[in-house]
Structure formats: structure tokens, C-alpha cells
Structure 1
Amino acid sequence: MNYDYPEIATQSALGGRWYDTEHGSYPSITTILGTTAPPDKVASLQNWRNSLGHSKADAVSKKATDHGTNVHLLAERYLKKEKVDAPINGQPVPYLDMAAFNALKLKLDKIDEIWGQEVALYSTSLCVAGRCDLVGKYKGVPVIVDFKTASRVKGKKDIHDYELQIYFYATAHNEMFGTNIDQGIILMVAETGFPQEFKVVFTQLLRDELEARVKAYWAKILSSVSPA
């Protein structure tokens, strides 16, 4: 399938990322989910930062972010049939990044069709935008595919925000292109090298929760910019 995916500029504003769509500026799905994270998740993260100390926590977070970015890049190269082990920013691919990619490759080989990679999408019904990793077919089924890295093997209860994120991408794609994508696949690899596959079947419950998170986001934004 060939879809005319738009190029959409982004900007930083109000503490997050915004996409300048033809319908106006929309906040990114990652900004919304991050801003409206459940209190227990926020508290857990803060406790972790306090236990390590802020400088060390920042260093660990940056290392994890760089690892995730590199593994995404290697997966993208592989699916585009480019040279996977080409240098990254002029440096050899770090061993742990390549090891994680090699584990993830077991799952990447199940992608049958690629409609788009790293494509910008937006939903006019939700007034939200974002950029998804891949749209296509996985084991013959139309899906949104999202690549994730993690410090440890995770369970279903650990990935709920990822489910909301991937549901958003499908909603946006269906609105923009008249598709009927009703499920997604989260492909995750832990630092131990163990690849995981989570199938997400979209439900009205996910829609309701996503709408509630969007509403909560706007409530926070409006309260932060309203005069005292």
C-alpha cells in the first residue's frame, strides 16, 4: 500500500513537543502521556531519582535514551535494507546496541509489508499528533508497530501507556487514510537481550482512557497559563 504521508514540522512549547498540522498546532502523544502519567508512576520515578542522586539519575536516563535511539535506528536501517552496522555519529555501533538489535531482529523478520516508517500522523478528533515507528503488516495483519527498549523484561501491566500510544497512532492513520487498523504490536527488547512481543487489540476502553488523558492534559496546560 502507498500512502502520502505528510512532512510535519515540530516545535517546543509549553514544556512539550507540538506538531504544526494543516489543522493547527497539536501536542504530541508522548507529551500528553508524559504530562498525565499516573501519580504512582510519577512518585516511583521520583523515588528512583532521589535514591540515585539527580546527577547519576540523569546519566542513567541519558544512557537509556541513547540506547533506545540507536536500536531504533538499527531497526530502521535493517527494514530499509541499509547497512546496519554503519557508524552512528561517526562512531562504531556500541556492542550493547547491536546485541539488542540482533535480538529484536527475530521479531522484525515477521513484518510482511511496510507502508511507512517514522511517519507523522495526527487526529482531528483528538487534536493530537505524533510520529510512529512503522505502519504495515505483521504476520499478515495490518498493524501499527512500535519499537521499545527496556532495562528489564516487562509484563503486560508495565506497558499500558504504550498501548494508549499505539492506539492513538492507529486512530490517526484510520482518520487520515480511511484504513481500518484495529490492533498494534509492541516489539520490545530488554538489556538482557530478551525480545518481547505484545499484541494490543483496540477497544472502546482504550479510546475512553485516551480521551480522558487528553482532557487532563489540557486542564493542566490551561491552569498553568491562566493568570493567578
Structure 2
Amino acid sequence: ILDRGKLFHSYVEQSLQNKIEDDFKIVEQYIKSVKSVLEDIESVRLLESRVIHPYLHYQGFVDCVGLYRGNPVVIDFKTSAKPKSTLSSTYDSPLQVAAYLGAMNYDPSYETLPNISSALIVIAYETGMPANVHCLNEKKCLKYWDFWCKRLLQFKNMNCEPR
């Protein structure tokens, strides 16, 4: 399953660069699921790019930064066997994209990018059913950023106690 996830992400990356070079037969249902979403993404600025928050000391890999239906967003692509039609069914994915947004907006490597305040979580399905697209506007991103900061503080406090 992990290999399928990596292969799917590779397809998304190659598709958004308009250069499909590999054989993606094994993930064709995920591709079918997400195809119409990819058509709405343009002006891609980043793909599979490492972000580091210089003050909060965490890092991650952003799947994509681009325009979705004309709006600048951080995009996180997920695969799933089960439907995830609500944002809450994506578990910690909103925290993850909020953390990426926070890191990207503070990471000096990305200072040439405009400040991005919205995110997208795209769930592709192994059955080929149409992907669910969860849009997080600035208000939602700030809400999940707050949750993320609390969780990060909790983690740091757990790991700072003497043994």
C-alpha cells in the first residue's frame, strides 16, 4: 500500500509537470479518481518540496503549491480505500496542511512566494470513485493552525521531561 501511495504521488507530480514518463497501471483507479481535480490545478509553483519552520523547529514535505480554480493553495494528496466525504473523516490531515502552511510562510526558502492562507486536501480512491476535495479557507486554516500549535507544544513538553 505504501508503494502505491508513493507511485500515486509520483503520478500527480509528473501529471502537474505535463510529463508522464513512468508506468502507472498499478494506480490507475487512483488516477481515475483524481483526474478531474488535476485539471483544475494550474500555475504550480512547488511539488514535493521540503518546508522547515525556523522558529517552531518542525519540517515536512508539501505535495503541491499552485492555483486551484484561481485561488493560491497548499495541496495535500491522500489515498484511501474508504470514503472520506467530511473533513473530520480525514483525521489529522487538516492539522498537517496547517502545519505546512505555517512552515512555508516562515521558511526563508519560500520568501518569493506570496503568503498563502488556504489549503486543499484531495482524497483519491482505490475504487476510482471521484476524489473528495476538502477546501480549507483562511479561517479554517487558522483554526487548525491553533490546534497544530497546541499539539506541537504538548509533544515538546512530553519530550522535555527528565527521565
- Equivalent residue runs for 1:165-204 within 5 Å: 165-176=96-107, 177=111, 179-194=114-129, 195-203=131-139, 204=142
Q: How far apart, CA to CA, are the structure 1 residues paired with 2:46 and 2:20? A: 19
Could you tell me whether the CA contact under 8 Å between 1:167 and 1:202 is conserved in 2?
no
In the other structure, the counterpart of 1:145 is 75
Counterpart check, 1:69 vs 2:6: yes
In the other structure, the counterpart of 2:90 is 159
AA at the equivalent of 1:198: H
Counterpart among 150, 157, 160 of residue 219 in structure 1: 157
1:85-118, Cα deviation, whole Å (9 max, x unpaired): x24xxxxx444x1121122111011012100101
Q: How far apart, CA to CA, are the structure 2 residues paired with 1:103 and 1:208? A: 32
Provide structure 1 residue ranges, at least 5 long, that are not aligned to the other structure: 1-62, 88-92
AA at the equivalent of 2:35: K
Which of 140-149 and 211-220 deviates more? 211-220
1:10-43, Cα deviation, whole Å (9 max, x unpaired): xxxxxxxxxxxxxxxxxxxxxxxxxxxxxxxxxx
Shift of 1:180: 2.1
Could you tell me whether the CA contact under 8 Å between 1:152 and 1:192 is conserved in 2?
no
AA at the equivalent of 2:101: A
AA at the equivalent of 1:161: D
Q: How far apart, CA to CA, are the structure 1 residues paired with 2:158 and 2:5? A: 29
Could you tell me whether the CA contact under 8 Å between 1:115 and 1:134 is conserved in 2?
yes
Q: How far apart, CA to CA, are the structure 2 residues paired with 1:145 and 1:198? A: 10
AA at the equivalent of 2:100: Y
After the TM superposition, list the runs of 4 or more consecutive aligned residues in structure 1 that deviate by more than 4 angstroms. Answer: none
- Equivalent residue runs for 1:96-135 within 5 Å: 97-135=27-65
AA at the equivalent of 1:174: N
**SS of corresponding position for 2:75:** strand
RMSD: 1.8
- Equivalent residue runs for 1:20-39 within 5 Å: none
Q: How far apart, CA to CA, are the structure 1 residues paired with 2:17 and 2:42? A: 13
Of structures 1 and 2, the one with the larger relative CO (CA 8 A, separation 6+) is: 2
**SS of corresponding position for 1:135:** strand
Shift of 1:125: 3.5
Q: How far apart, CA to CA, are the structure 2 residues paired with 1:210 and 1:105? A: 30
Change (3 A) 1:179 1:171: farther
* TM-score normalized with structure 2 length: 0.86
AA at the equivalent of 1:179: P
Shift of 1:222: 2.7
Q: How far apart, CA to CA, are the structure 2 residues paired with 1:152 and 1:116? A: 28
Aligned length: 155
AA at the equivalent of 2:52: Y
Could you tell me whether the CA contact under 8 Å between 1:148 and 1:188 is conserved in 2?
yes
